[in-house]
Amino acid sequence: MQPKSRHEELREGQEWLAERRGIDVAYYPFRSPRIAGLLIHEDDGGYCIGINSRMILTRQLFSLAHELGRCALHRHVQAMFLCHVGRQDRPEREANTYAVQLLMPEHAVRELQARGKGLRDLCTYFGVSRAAMEWRLEELGLR
């Protein structure tokens, strides 16, 4: 058996979290490059997150965390959310904040940085883009 990539480990961790919350996760190659993901409240009370599988892996992971945030924070607001790339209204920002904290927990970022890990190592470890990692380090005052 092939050893798992770091990305697979991280994705499975989030899928496990979704499952525990009664949320199905599906990957679909949406044709629109603007659709990052969506969240649907199904009639039976369950939820489904759809991730655009055409996007790069770091983006898919972020979308999954973002939709988990949507479900945790906004599931009572409406039955369906469609998340477009670059949309920046308040609920979107709240879901992004949730995703950032889920993907790059403060204690872990601080600990790895204190151990001298560079930007590239941090990106690999957390499965995020360089821009997202830089933003998080900045936010925590580590840059």
3-state SS assignment for residue 1:
coil
Nearer to Zn ion, 96 or 126 (CB): 96
Minimum distance of Zn ion from residue 123's CB (angstroms): 22
Cβ burial, residue 117 (10 Å; 0-12/13-18/19+): middle
Minimum distance of Zn ion from residue 21's CB (angstroms): 17
Minimum distance of Zn ion from residue 47's CB (angstroms): 14
Q: CB nearest Zn ion: which residue?
A: 83
Buried b or exposed e, range 22-43, using 16+ CB within 10 angstroms: ebebebeebeeeebbbbbbbee
Nearer to Zn ion, 29 or 86 (CB): 86
Interface ranges with Zn ion (CB under 5 A): 83, 92
